[in-house]
Amino acid sequence: MLVVFGSLVVLISVLGGFLLSHGQLMALWQPYELLIIGGGAAGAFLTANPVKLVKATCRDMLGLLKGPAYRRQDYIDLLSLLYDIFALMRKNGLLSLEAHIEDPASSEIFSAYPRLLAEQHLIEFITDCLRLIVGGSMNPQELEQLLEVELETHHQEAEAPALAVMKSADALPGFGIVAAVLGIVTTMSQLSGDTSRIGEHIAGALVGTFLGILLCYGFAGPLASAMESRAQEDGKAFECVKVALMANLRGYNPMVSVEFARKSLSDHARPSFVDMEGHLKGDRSGAVA
């Protein structure tokens, strides 16, 4: 909701300052300028990006209203899930994971965390990594390099909508200049008319430049930054899985492996060591004895 609140603050501050300077608010209402700037930027955005990215951008914009995809409780569940997996590996061996990773929905371990089970991409990342561990003969260094490549690809895809919006934001001042130039063209064609009308046309042309700059730095640019920050924060869940898997593969026990993963989380989302330890040692549905 900070996105909405921040946008309102920008709007109120700019328009409020304009009114305090004895400006007339209706002078800023230039529908044709909005059509030129907004329509031109939207058309350029559609031209520059594939359909998949356009849909992802719309989804991420709406996602800003919902907050981060993973909250503190989700990270507790994720660490608990990883602990259960490592405990099963330690107790029954790697082959005991095959049934769980082939069908997570019917797995007692995965189904104990329905919120995480709904995150298909995250579950696929976990199960794919476990398949490499169970069926492969890769050493930790080779697996770590492979996971780094996969995470880099994931982060690039997750941040692509924000980059697309930022590029469109950078184009908005240019479309504002286009609108202003067209306004001047209209003004020049009416130089023989009433001076008050000429003044109105010049004011409308200047509004085009104003709107292009305002939409860029007041709305589209900050929106792109917020989308990028959210994508980076959501990517912490995948980093957490990677760190835990690598620690376990290097021979650390389940509790220590989970602690490595907990340390990789951001401060505001990271559960405390005491809370995490108490949760793991408590009575949890789906936990492995």
Percent of the chain past pLDDT 90, that is, above it, reads: 45
Enumerate the domain spans of the chain.
30-282
Q: How confident is the model at residue 23 (pLDDT cuts 50, 70, 90)?
A: confident
Please tell me the predicted confidence (pLDDT) of residue 288: 47
Percent of the chain past pLDDT 70, that is, above it, reads: 95
Tokens describing residue 45: 């955005």
If you average pLDDT over residues 102-116, what whole number do you get?
90
Using CA atoms, how far apart are residues 218 and 244, in angstroms rounded to an integer? 40
Q: Is the pLDDT of residue 245 over 80?
A: yes
pTM exceeds 0.75 for this model = yes
Using CA atoms, how far apart are residues 276 and 220, in angstroms rounded to an integer? 39
Q: Is the pLDDT of residue 283 over 60?
A: no
Q: Which of 56, 14, 65, 63 has its CA nearest to residue 165?
A: 56
Q: Which of 75, 66, 32, 10 has its CA nearest to residue 244?
A: 75
